Every structure is written in structure tokens, then in C-alpha cells.
Structure 1
Amino acid sequence: MTAAGIERVVTAGTFSLDGGTWEVENNVWILGDDTEAVVVDPAHDADAVVTALGRRRLTAIVCTHAHDDHVGAAPALADRTGAPVLLHPDDLDLWRLTHPDRAPDRFLTDGQTLTVAGTPLTVLHTPGHTPGAVSLHLPDLGAVLTGDTLFAGGPGATGRSYSDFPTIIRSIRDRLLTLPPRTAVHTGHGDSTTIGAEAPHLAEWIARGH
């Protein structure tokens, strides 16, 4: 890349919570240009992320939420690169389930703006899948990274500990579906979508949740 852009790296591993373990594939997102980058949700395999980064300087490791399949490789990646790990404080309890001896380096706040390669990333607190779930809006690139809050086809799961269906619906309705319809939605798992493609289905999702 010569201008700022978005790259996807897919890693495979497991997700464990509430006594269950599932095989999963995760999207790891790299934001930046040829010289510097931010990594979002380093899942499972720090080596794969380091390889994808190449010689770029990693300025931050941003976790959209603290489920183990999204933060598992964060400390190892931080150790390899010197980049700080950023997480919303409302997900600290979940973080400690995976990394009891290593705290995040900095906390994310709603409305905070991060910058990589001259491109702003606005932090949107979008709880529901977890209490501290965030999305990252990149208006200059016409994109939002939603973690496990919004997928192609509907909201993220809310059937496990620390999650709440009415809360995730409010987050999607009030924080995400208000973005421009052409905004690309890059998710924590699976294919990307757009705000315009998902917005018409809000009533269906609410009905399914009752």
C-alpha cells in the first residue's frame, strides 16, 4: 500500500467461555500504509500477524472486545513489536480470564480518535456482545470495523456471559446504522457487508430476539 488502507489476515483457533470451546476463524485487521500500521483483534497467531506486517512499524494493538479469540495473541504481539495494547475498561473482567498476569497498556474511550498513517479512527463504544465492545469508524476510508457487534446478516451473539441482546440492538441502531449507507462493515468473523445492506433488517433482528 502507498496510501492508508485496510488488510485482512484470517487466523484459526478456538474460542472458550462458560465451560465450552469452539473452533473458530477470526479476521485480524491491519490498518495503515507502507510504513506504519495498527492491528485490530490479533487472534490466535502472533507470527502470522508479524509476517503480514512486514517492516511496518506497529503503533497500536486495538481490541474490539476481550473474548479470548480476539485478544489471545495481543501480549505476544506487543512483546514482539513494542506496540501498546488498547482495550475498553468495561471488558477488563473478560480480559483477565485470558491474561490474568498482563493488563492492557491503555484504555479506549467512546469518541476517542486514534490516527494511523494520517487516517483517523474514531472509537465507538458499542456494548452488548460484551460490556466493553467497541467499533472503529474510519470515515476517510468509508469503513467501520465492528468486531463481533454486527455481522453480515445480523447482530453478534448474546447468549453467553457478559452479553445482552437489548444492549447490542441499541448499539447497532444508535451507533452503527446511523453511519452512511455505503460504509463498509468489516467484521470479526466471516464476510464484510455494508451499513446499507444491514439497516433494513433491524426490525427482523429485534423480532428474532424475543
Structure 2
Amino acid sequence: MSGARIEHLVTSGTFSLDGGTWDVDNNVWIVGDDTEVIVVDAAHDADAIARAVGDRRLTAVVCTHAHNDHIDAAPALAALTGAPVLLHPDDLPLWKQTHPDREPDGELADGQVVTVAGVDLTVLHTPGHAPGAVCLYAPALSALFSGDTLFAGGPGATGRSYSHFPTIVDSIRERLLTLPGDTVVHTGHGDTTTVGTEAPHLQEWIDRGF
């Protein structure tokens, strides 16, 4: 069995879009072992994330989507560690709002596999909260890293630019709720949940229009 594990860091900052700014706490997920790791969503504080990584090799900074609160520290973390920043290309318009002079280093694609410490994480393209939103599924860890696509209690917000409620519902129904019910959902904000906990509420979300 791999020695890979999931580590959790909470960083604080602001989310800005469509002329508004809000204070937010973000979950940063570090996946790997004592030798190498990836970071899922480099939010707000590159130095704090780099300290959590320590002397391990950071092989990639994976962005679940390009809202500023999930990517604001990505270039600085890349500069500190030499790790590439990976993003689905459909989110480049959002990325450029935050980092107009610095492109991501590589693209994420549906079905792509990111491997770290002997664990495969499959990229699932789950648009709706953002056009290029992705989740990462690691069956060996019974883990899904959902970004802002799925939270404890429902879908991510779809009330702002580049988002679409019917699309996020389709993404969750077709890509996430089909996973094993005991899969732990590690979210972009707030508490973890499981696929089995959220699945029965799909119709409620649709009826409420979330």
C-alpha cells in the first residue's frame, strides 16, 4: 500500500469577481508522501503552503478552477518550488483576470491522470461553477477533490460570470454522484462530505435552483 496521504491547510484572503470582493477561507490540499506531493489549489499564502510542503518535491500545483481565491498564490508557489501550474484551458479567461502576465505551465484535460507518490488522480472536467472547473478523483485514497463544484450541502455557486446552474448539476450528476458512495469529498471551502451523503439530495437542489 502506498504511503500517500492527504494533508489539509486553511488559508485566508479574498475572492473578487464581477466588481465585488468577499473575505474567504480556502482549503488547500496536499497529496503525497514523505518524498513528493502535489498541491490542489494554491490559495492566498504561498509561503504557508511552501512551509507545509517542507523539503518534499512539489511535482505540480493543480488548479481546480481559476477564481482568484484558488489561484492567487500559484505563481509565487511555483517560483518558490519550481513546480508547474496546471489548469484546464477553458478557465484561461478567469486566470487572466488575476494573472494577466503569467500563463499556466500546463493544461488539464478530462481523463488525464496525475500521479504522485504512487497514487493516480484522474481529472474530471466538471464545468458549471466555472467553465474549466475540474475535480480530481483518487480511488486508492477513496478521495475526491471537488474544488467549488460540490460542497457539503450542495453545488457550488452559479450566480456570477462564467457560471451556469444546469451545467453544474449535470456535472455533479454524471461525473461525481456515480462514484462510490464512501468517496470522501474534499472541498474548496468548508467541511468534507461524502458522495453518499450528497447523492440523495440531487433533486432537492434542482427544485430549489440552488
Same fold by TM-score greater than 0.5: yes
Query: Equivalent residue for 2:177?
Result: 177
Query: Equivalent residue for 1:47?
Result: 47
- CA distance in 1 between counterparts of 2:24 and 2:48 reads 16
Q: In the TM superposition, what whole-angstrom CA distance separates every residue of 1:156-202 from its partner, at most 9, and x where no partner exists? A: 00000000000000000000000000000000000000000000000
- CA distance in 2 between counterparts of 1:54 and 1:81 reads 10
Counterpart code for 1:78 = A
Query: Equivalent residue for 1:153?
Result: 153
- CA distance in 2 between counterparts of 1:185 and 1:38 reads 17
- CA distance in 1 between counterparts of 2:117 and 2:10 reads 23
- CA distance in 2 between counterparts of 1:29 and 1:114 reads 14
Query: Equivalent residue for 1:4?
Result: 4
**TM-score of the pair, normalised by structure 1:** 0.99
Q: Secondary structure at the match of 1:159?
A: coil
Query: Equivalent residue for 1:135?
Result: 135
Across the aligned residues of Structure 1 and Structure 2, the Cα RMSD in angstroms comes to 0.8
Counterpart code for 2:74 = A
- CA distance in 2 between counterparts of 1:136 and 1:177 reads 14
Alignment of 1:27-106 (within 5 A): 27-106=27-106
Deviation at 1:145, TM superposition (A): 0.3
Counterpart code for 1:4 = A
Alignment of 1:109 onto 2:105? no
In structure 2, the gaps of 5 or more residues are: none
- CA distance in 2 between counterparts of 1:150 and 1:93 reads 22
Query: Equivalent residue for 1:124?
Result: 124
Identity, % of aligned positions: 73
- CA distance in 2 between counterparts of 1:90 and 1:208 reads 28
Counterpart code for 1:119 = V
Runs of 4+ residues over 2 Å off in structure 1: none
Q: How many equivalent residue pairs?
A: 209
Q: Secondary structure at the match of 1:173?
A: helix
Alignment of 1:193 onto 2:190? no
- CA distance in 1 between counterparts of 2:193 and 2:56 reads 28
Deviation at 1:30, TM superposition (A): 0.2
Deviation at 1:106, TM superposition (A): 0.3
In structure 1, the gaps of 5 or more residues are: none
**TM-score of the pair, normalised by structure 2:** 0.99
Deviation at 1:110, TM superposition (A): 0.1
- CA distance in 2 between counterparts of 1:160 and 1:191 reads 23
Q: Secondary structure at the match of 2:91?
A: helix
